[in-house]
Amino acid sequence: MSLLQVESLGFSYGAKEVLKGINLEVEEGEILSILGENGVGKTTLLKCINSILKPQKGRILLDGSDLSKLRGKEIARRIAYVPQFSERNSIRVFEAVLLGRKPYINWDVSSKDIEITEKVIKTMGLQEVGFRSLSQLSGGELQKVMLARALAQEPQILLLDEPTSNLDLRNQMEVMKLIAEISKARKITILVVMHDINLSVRFSHRFVLMKKGKIFARGGHEIITEENIQEVYGIKVIISYVAEIPVIIPLNG
Amino acid sequence: MSKYKLFVRKKLLTLFAEAFFLFVFLLVALNVGSVHLDFFQVFNSIFHRTGELASSIIWEIRLVRVLSAVIVGLSLAIAGTVMQCVLNNPLASPFTMGISHGAAFGAAFSIVVLKAGEIQNSASRALMISSPYKITAFAFIGSLLGVIVVIMLARLKGISPQSLILAGVAMGFLFMAGTTLLQFLASDTELAAIVFWTFGDLGRVSWKELGIMTGVTIPALIYIFANRWNYNALQSGEDVAKSLGVNTWKVRLTGMFFASLITSVSVAFVGIIGFIGLLGPHMVRGFVGEDHRFLIPSSALWGAILLIFSDALSRIVISPVILPVGIITAFMGTPLFLYILVKGEK
């Protein structure tokens, strides 16, 4: 059985239908990229999987149990979410990461919570800025703090919405490498919404191509073809190999 | 020792320092008043309640007044802290959101229309509240009216945090107009009672009323403190809080509910005292940060200190005339309000 099963999921904002009949299985330990045009429902799908939004149709099974029947705390111990935009308030890095322990805290933090927080901060290479306020961090550091908070939740599944969209080239690679390492070392399943299709192709195991609120195609690298991308993004591309890395190049017209 | 432990220890130290200052201010405030008592007399009277003048002054006037300042100060400061968090706006407080005015209107309504208070010709207690529970209940209803309108605007129309403050100010104006209308309908003696609510004053609280304030406030404070991790989560944004398993709508609603409750019980007995809900949390943020585990108790202590200080000042600044304490807090609070406003614009 798959770790996560999405069964004929439907979601609407009022009268506007955003997701229609989404079926999806996610296997343990894989990195799955969700690709598609802006406004196609990628973020909405992530939010449904984390129960931030309640889908009106269909259901989501986590390890076989219906997500809508689980308590918020139980979901939070198994699924973590990093939104595209993070609040840049003046809490300290340590406090921000410690917040990831929230689903485990009853009255106050335990020494185990502190220990896990310290470890995650180290894994993410954030020791230097551990007690700086979030408002003083660079974009790359902030993104790492948000990842660290999600990791402190010790989730089985990590949902990432555009983790590289506000980062420079070096930080993009660094964050993606970290994500790949985390996935491998901790056997965490990762669902990631990406706009940078080239970065996505390099780091993902499987892909979901979305079009108009539906899944257009899903599978491994074999579905990343010029025809499919043209269908989904409505633009002509060629796929070329540079230093054995596939590169998708959009063409004019 | 780990860096984190040091980090926490610093905050705890701040809390202890505040508690110590609060104690010192308490003692000093007991020594301030129109009748001169030396320190020994004050000290002695606290422990020996006799019928003597010094003992009466301490027990009947100063002690209840100072303890009221503590309860009201910490209530307003905590209400402000919670509202700033759940409304995601640094300018939110019982006063700026019109909750205090709503409570004052409710209290005035119960006096004029429901005859819950009467006026006596005694200098020390010009206003006798004949049914304190009724006044508290109506103050609470009044404050909730304002909160419901503001929350509905936020929920249904999705107005921005900035506009939310304006909505609160507008509700405040509406309640002030309502209170003024009641003043026209009121008899002379009732009028005196209503004016009392528009200028906060700690001098008219009796032990019984202090008991009611404490009885309502303490459980609310425990509830709020128990939610400190939820408030921390809310600070990181709606979606993140939800992803951490927080029922954000419930936390916001109950936060506003209890903030209104403790505000209204204060307003019912001491009237409108503005800006403590802003001054309390903002003045301690620099020391304890944004973590509500420390921010809540720290603002509470600071709110109490501020109000004791302001009240003592109001008694000595043009002695023997006692100024309404709300005037002192407004002089301190308005510059802060403007400062936050300007800082937020950047």
* Of the candidate ranges B209-223, B277-291, B311-325, the one whose mean pLDDT is the lowest: B311-325
**Pairwise CA distance, residues B226 & B238, whole Å:** 19
What tens digit of pLDDT does each residue of B259-276 get? 989 998 888 888 889 899
* pLDDT tens sequence across A95-123: 999 999 999 998 888 999 999 999 999 98
Does any CB of chain A come closer than 8 Å to the CB of residue B236? Answer: yes
Task: Measure in Å the smallest separation between the Cα of B228 and chain A Cα atoms.
Answer: 10
**ipTM of this predicted structure:** 0.91
A12 by Cβ neighbours in 10 Å (0-12 / 13-18 / 19+) ranks as: middle
pLDDT at A119: 93
Name the residue facing B232 among A47, A77, A99 (closest C-beta): A99
Instruction: Measure the CA–CA gap between A58 and B323, rounded to whole angstroms.
Output: 65
Q: Chain A partners of B286 at a C-beta cutoff of 8 Å?
A: none
CA dihedral A130, A117, A146, A175 (to 10 degrees): 80
| Chain A residues whose beta carbon lies within 8 Å of the beta carbon of residue B233 | 99, 102
CB contact under 8 A, B240 and A81: yes
Section B111-140 average pLDDT: 68
**Contact between chains at A94 and B244 (C-beta distance less than 8 A):** no
Q: Which domains does chain B have, with CATH numbers?
A: 35-345 (1.10.3470.10)
Task: Kindly indicate the confidence band of residue B22, based on its pLDDT and cuts at 50, 70 and 90.
Answer: very high
Q: Does B4 touch chain A (CB under 8 A)?
A: yes
Instruction: Quote the mean pLDDT of chain B.
Output: 85
CA B157 to chain centre: 29
Q: What angle do CA A172, A177, A183 make, to 5 degrees?
A: 130
Closest CA to B91 of B175, B15, B167, B187: B167
**Which two tokens mark B317?**
């600044």
pLDDT at B345: 55
The residue count for chain A: 253
Contact B236 A80 (CB under 8 A): no
CB contact under 8 A, A99 and B293: no
Express as a percent the part of chain B with pLDDT over 90: 34
Residue with tokens 């008991």: B211
pLDDT value at position B116?
Answer: 66
CA distance B16 to chain A (A): 19
> Are B193 and B113 a contacting pair, CB within 8 Å?
no
Contacts of B242 in chain A (CB under 8 A): 50-52, 72
The most confident of B120-124, B163-167, B286-290, by mean pLDDT = B286-290
Which has the minimum average pLDDT: A5-19, A210-224, B101-115?
Answer: B101-115
pLDDT recorded at residue B122 = 45
Residues of A in contact with B235 (CB under 8 A): 87, 89, 91
| C-alpha span between A149 and A127 (Å, rounded) | 14
Of A241-245, B33-37, B163-167, B183-187, the one with minimum mean pLDDT is B33-37
Residue A172 structure tokens: 């993009």
Distance from C-alpha of B147 to C-alpha of B168, rounded to nearest angstrom: 8
pTM value? 0.89
* A103 to B240: CB separation less than 8 angstroms, yes or no: no
**pLDDT-derived band of residue B124, with 50, 70 and 90 as boundaries?**
very low
Tokens of B164: 């939310």
pLDDT digits (tens, 9 = 90+) for A211-241: 988 999 999 999 998 999 999 998 898 888 8
Mean pLDDT of all residues belonging to chain A? 90
Across the interface, whether the CB atoms of B240 and A83 are under 8 A apart is answered yes
Tell me the pLDDT band of B1, cut-offs 50, 70 and 90: low
Element (H, E) at A60: strand A57-62
**Nearest CA of chain A to the CA of B7: how many Å?**
8
